[in-house]
Chains A and B, each alone.
Chain A
Amino acid sequence: MRGLLVVAALAATPTLAQDRVVVAGSALCEVVAALGQVDRVVGRDTTCLYPEVFAELPDVGYLRALSPEGLLSLDPDLILADVDAGPPATMDLVAASAVPVVRIAADFTEAGVIARIEGVAGALGVDPAPLVGSVTEGFATLAEARAAAESPRVLFILSAAGGRVMAAGQGTAAQGILTLAGAQNVLDGFEGYRPLTDEAIAAAAPDAILMMDRSGDHALDDAAILAHPALGLTPAAQNGRIVRMDGALLLGFGPRTPEAALALIRALEG
């Protein structure tokens, strides 16, 4: 029955011929791969890092600094782009050369992940149902785990270059994944990512600290956190509740998001 449905969907979609697709946006790349359509992709932007097959494809540059001739040089017949892709002048020029551009906008929620999958599948002319089904299942499992989990107050640190802590406020992907994991963002006074003063960190007193796996000056090891004048005094540092996760997995909001949120719940439980 499902096979029949797929055939029907394919027959109804005239876009099937598109086999030179350029993808711009890390979450979109993950969706394309999860739909099993990587072999139709001829180019990707710098942010497409997962799965690793994308690394072998030509890189058209950073999502927000795409070049029109660079995109057209790959001779694409479809450009799948995140809503942030740009600059606008580039997107205008590409559209003028009659290459279809599909922009996909979706927020950092469960519905957003599903919308992203359906958008990509629609543009590629494939049936989203199997992937949506498995992701929805993942979200159902996640919801159970979330109900059973406590609700820790978490501080997400984007970077700590030079000892300055840059943390996530409202409206961020970090906020989104914390919500999915049933945790609270300790910071609710601002939008986006901001540098925090030491006093604000102390006043926030997070139960746990969440960071991305990174290296170099942006990273903080546990010893550095304990030695930091403000971070060291937080309950999170005192109790050693410091979680590090892969950035693309954590903040990607692609098909792996239920898995990421589940892993986050487990990690926060320690």
Chain B
Amino acid sequence: MVALTPPVPSGDRAPRAQKVTLALVALLLAAGVASLAVGAAGVSPWAVLGDWLAGEAIGLRERVILFDIRLPRLVTGALVGASLAVAGAVMQGLFRNPLADPGIVGVSAGASLGAVLVIVLGGLLPAGLLALAGSHLVPIGAFLGGWASTLLLYRISTRAGRTSVATMLLAGIAMAALAGAGMGVLIFLADDAQLRDLTFWNMGSLAGSSWTRLAAAAPVMILGLLAVPFMARALNALSLGEATAMHLGIRVERAKRLAILAVAAMTGAAVAVSGGIGFVGIVVPHLLRLAMGPDHRFLLPAAGLLGAALLIGADMVARTIAAPAELPIGIVTALAGGPFFLWILLRKRGLVDL
């Protein structure tokens, strides 16, 4: 049970949620502007904007850095952060379990297996296919892997048109173990260079962001993000239990199916473009529940905003702190977020006691 209903503040928390949401919009905008302005190369968007307004030609280097490196990275970071955080919020609501995260429906494990499969055995694919996919082969592998494992898990846990959430949770753990074993075999087969690629992929990075990659992944993430707000009422009702939700007039099976599909789409696409970025899906929804309560109508959009801002901020740190080298972003999210989350837990222990 998500026993996150705080005992102290009672009554309508909608005004508070709206204030928090407004603050988050401001935060996201600030993070976006800062992210465009900050970078190893010291190119200032203001100077470029000034040049452009003055009718001067923008140098190729400035153009590439601003529009082909920083901007797609910003958009990718925002979409990935929003997708992971929203997917986490949906999963926690659907499973009525505060520990649920996108990983639980098997997407992450499947996506990792798909990526590892391509990194290690991609060389065996026909040359024509390799040339066609180019550097997008690993993201494609990750996405297909994520989807395949979600669909399989869904099949396993659905009997006679009813999806058992408990079965899905347990089967997800079994599938993650299986995918882990598969990755173990591939890691054993991998050569030295491939092992290095695997390690870096697992730590996650937005360094590979580009418009072409975004063009493939963004529609999937955006579709998922747009679908989610329509589930808010159903998720609120589901927190009372499936039977109660049904009596409240919620089409439970349909809601579950929709939620799982949306989560698989968002997480699959997010993992495909960024690799393994953990932590966002768990921390963001919990922080927001503490700040504005568990009502999914406010929680879901807010999770998207905070997830996007958080990942943009983390990416800013990742690409400047060791410049001209770059830290994997997964390290930044975990290093910064872990202690912060612990601190919140300790301060508000009474509120999140399960």
Residues of A within 8 A of B (CB): 43, 46, 58-62, 64-75, 84, 86-90, 92-93, 96-98, 172, 191-194
Q: What is the number of residues of chain B that contact chain A, defined by CB distance less than 8 Å?
A: 34
Can you give 28 A-B contacts (C-beta < 8 A)?
Answer: A43-B324, A46-B325, A59-B324, A61-B325, A61-B326, A62-B196, A64-B200, A65-B205, A66-B207, A66-B326, A67-B325, A69-B40, A69-B41, A69-B319, A70-B319, A70-B323, A72-B64, A73-B41, A75-B61, A87-B197, A87-B200, A89-B207, A90-B208, A92-B134, A93-B210, A172-B192, A192-B190, A192-B192
- Chain B residues with Cβ under 8 A from A193's Cβ? 191-192
Which one of B40, B60, B68, B196 has the greatest number of beta carbons of chain A within 10 Å? Answer: B40
Given A88-B134, A97-B60, 9 more contacts at CB 8 Å?
A67-B326, A68-B207, A69-B41, A70-B40, A70-B324, A73-B40, A97-B64, A97-B68, A98-B60
B339 in contact (CB, < 8 A): no
Nearest residue, chain A, Cβ from B138: A87
| CB pair B325 A70 closer than 8 Å | yes
Complex interface: chain A residues within 8 A of B322 (CB): 61
3 smallest CB-CB distances across A and B, nearest first, come from A61-B325, A70-B324, A88-B135
Which chain A residue has the least Cβ–Cβ distance from B137?
A88
| A64–B325 CB distance below 8 A | no
| Closest residue of B by beta carbon distance from A87 | B208
The CA of A67 and the CA of B73, in the complex, are separated in Å by: 12
A59 neighbours in B (Cβ, 8 Å): 324-325
Binary contact readout B173-211 vs A (1 if CB under 8 angstroms, 0 otherwise) = 000000000000000101111001100100001011110
B106, CB-defined interface residue at 8 Å: no
Kindly list chain A residues whose C-beta atoms are within 8 Å of the C-beta of B213. 89
Which residues on the A side are within 8 Å of B60 (C-beta)?
Answer: 97-98
A58 to B323, CA, bound (A): 9
Residues of A within 8 A of B205 (CB): 65
The docked-state distance in angstroms from the alpha carbon of A208 to that of B276 is 42
Question: Which B residue sits closest to A60, measured CB to CB?
Answer: B324
A69–B71 alpha-carbon span in the complex (Å): 12
Chain B residues within CB distance 8 Å of chain A: 39-42, 60-61, 64-65, 68-70, 134-135, 188, 190-193, 196-197, 200, 205, 207-210, 213, 319, 322-326, 328
Contact partner, A67, options B42, B64, B134, B319, Cβ 8 Å: B319
Q: Check if B69 sits within 8 Å of A65, measured CB to CB.
A: no
Bound complex: CA A192 to CA B187 (Å):
12
Q: Which of A64, A69, A70 has the most CB of B within 10 A?
A: A69
Q: How far is the CA of A194 from the CA of B192 in the complex (A)?
A: 9
Complex Cα spacing A191 to B192, Å: 10
Q: Which of A64, A73, A87, A192 contacts B42 (CB 8 A)?
A: A73
CA of A84 to CA of B194 in the docked complex: distance in angstroms? 10
B207 touches A62 (CB 8 A): no
| A residues less than 8 Å from B69 (CB atoms) | 68-69, 72, 93
Chain B residues contacting A98 (CB-CB under 8 Å) are 60-61
A61's closest neighbor in chain B, by CB? Answer: B325
Q: Is the CB of B61 within 8 A of A97?
A: yes
Complex Cα distance, B324 from A75, in Å, reads: 11
B192 touching A90, Cβ below 8 Å: no
Chain A's nearest CB lies how many Å from the CB of B280?
Answer: 21
What B residues does A61 contact at CB under 8 A?
A: 322, 324-326
Q: How far is the CA of A88 from the CA of B213 in the complex (A)?
A: 12
A93 to B200, CA, bound (A): 19
B64 to chain A, nearest CB (A): 4
Compute how far the CA of A177 lies from the CA of B325 in the bound complex, rounded to whole angstroms: 31
Residues of B within 8 A of A73 (CB): 39-42, 323-324
CA distance A168 to B256 in the complex (A): 51
Residues of A contacting B65 in the complex (Cβ-Cβ under 8 angstroms) = 69, 72, 97
Please measure, in the bound complex, the distance between the C-alpha atom of A25 and the C-alpha atom of B133, giving whole angstroms: 26
CA distance in complex: A67, B209 (Å): 11
Are A65 and B323 in touch, CB under 8 angstroms?
A: no
Q: Cβ of B324 and Cβ of A89 under 8 Å apart?
A: no
Which residue of A is nearest B318, CB measured? A67
Nearest A residue (CB) for B60:
A98
User: In the assembly, what is the distance between CA of A60 and CA of B327, in Å?
Assistant: 11
Asked whether, in the complex, the Cβ of B135 is within 8 Å of the Cβ of A192, the reply is: no
CB pair A65–B326 under 8 Å, yes or no, is yes
Decide: A58 near B324, CB < 8 A? Known: A64-B200, A65-B207. Answer: yes
Bound together, the chains give a CA A67 to CA B325 distance in angstroms of 6
- Could you say which residues of chain A place their CB within 8 Å of the CB of B319? 67, 69-70
Nearest chain-B residue to A92 (Cβ)?
Answer: B135
A84 to B209, CA, bound (A): 20
Contact: B326 with A87, CB < 8 Å? no
Known: A64-B196, A64-B197, A69-B65. A89 touches B40 (CB 8 A): no
Among candidates A67, A88, A96, A97, residue contacting B40 with C-beta atoms closer than 8 Å:
A67
**Which chain B residue shows the least CB distance to A91?**
B135
Complex Cα distance, B333 from A180, in Å, reads 47
Q: Are A87 and B207 in contact (CB under 8 A)?
A: yes
CA of A61 to CA of B322, assembled, Å: 8
For residue B42, which residues in chain A have a CB less than 8 angstroms away from its CB? Answer: 73
Q: Which residue of A lies closest to B209 (CB)?
A: A89
Contacting pair B207 A74 (CB below 8 A): no
Q: How far is the CA of A43 from the CA of B323 in the complex (A)?
A: 11
In the bound complex, how far is the Cα of B324 from the Cα of A68, in angstroms?
9
